[in-house]
Amino acid sequence: MSRLALSVLLVLAVAAPAFADESKPWSQVLLGLPKASDPRQEPLVMIAIDGKRDFDPETLYQLAPGRHEITVAIERTDTAGALVVQTVAIDMQPCMNYELIGRRTPGTGDDNRHWTPELRGQTPIKRCRKKFGDTPASPAP
């Protein structure tokens, strides 16, 4: 992926929450970029959220708090040209951002069929916390 494309994705990731409904607390999933210092990290693409594919491709997804099943694939295809998908369940707290990255399994070299989604970090969403307080209400069942 070119630097220009990565720059555009970063701008979209920052701008995307501004267009979402913010009348109640929300959570976010960010598909992070790999760190150059860790060659086993891989960028991800979103395949499905809770089994549904009715969303625009982004790098930042705004969701209601609660449990979500996030299905992702690393951007590189396997040797047959297919995406290798994995699903991870995340119990998302209100006003929190969850960053996901793909991690290739040690000892598999450059084989992209063996990897897992990894929660690289979680951080508060400052705008959400400012609007709804530092301890927002628990997600609805």
27-55 burial, b if ≥16 CB within 10 A, otherwise e?
bbbbbbbbeeeeeebbbbebeebeeeeee
- Each of the 141 residues of the chain gets a pLDDT tens digit; together they read 554 444 444 444 443 443 356 789 999 999 999 999 998 898 999 999 999 998 888 889 999 999 999 999 988 766 677 788 999 999 999 999 999 999 988 766 666 678 899 999 999 999 999 999 875 455 444
Q: Please tell me the predicted confidence (pLDDT) of residue 134.
A: 73
Domain spans of the chain? 3-132
Give the H or E element holding residue 46.
strand 44-49
- Backbone phi and psi for residue 61, each to the nearest 5 degrees, phi listed first: -120, 125
Distance, CA of 84 to CA of 82 (rounded, Å): 6
Distance, CA of 86 to CA of 33 (rounded, Å): 17
